[in-house]
Amino acid sequence: MQCALYDAGRCRSCQWITQSVNEQLSAKTADLHRLLAGLPVEQWCAPTGGPEQHFRNKAKMVVSGSVEKPLFGMLHRDGTPVDLCGCPLYPASFAPVFSALKPFIARAGLTPYNVAR
């Protein structure tokens, strides 16, 4: 999968992103076989892969930035906020929710998360 945030070094949340879907499935299948090695398994079914993008059904994000301009995402290793609203794992239906929540947070005067405090 191609991700601009990963390529720019801003996000490292996807630990499998550098591997193809087939490589991921093979590695995960091998892990499963290893973890269940002591159990009797009658038949191992072939793994089923899904789409590379837009498959997430939930988003857990830190709200950072400022009251006037909140950001949804995570904090980079150096503590700077990274906006993940454009993450390719989220379906297009998330965009209007993010767009509605940001001005709501600003109007409500909700204070974003601040690690320093």
pLDDT tens sequence across 81-95: 899 999 999 999 999
Residue 97 in domain: yes
Structural domain includes residue 114: no
113 found inside a domain = no
What would the mean pLDDT of 23-44 be, rounded to a whole number?
95
Give how many domains the chain has, as a whole number. 1
Range of the domain at 54: 4-108
Residue type, 59: A
Tokens 């400022």 — which residue?
66
**Within a domain: residue 115?**
no
Instruction: Collapse the DSSP code of 13 into the 3-class scheme (helix H, G, I; strand E, B; otherwise coil) and give the result.
Output: coil
Is the per-residue pLDDT at 117 higher than 70? Answer: no
Q: Write the pLDDT tens digit of every residue in 41-66.
A: 999 999 988 888 998 888 888 898 88
Determine, yes or no, domain membership for 117: no
Contacts (Cβ under 8 Å, ≥6 apart) of 67? 105, 106, 109, 110, 111, 112
In whole angstroms, give the CA distance from residue 82 to residue 74: 5
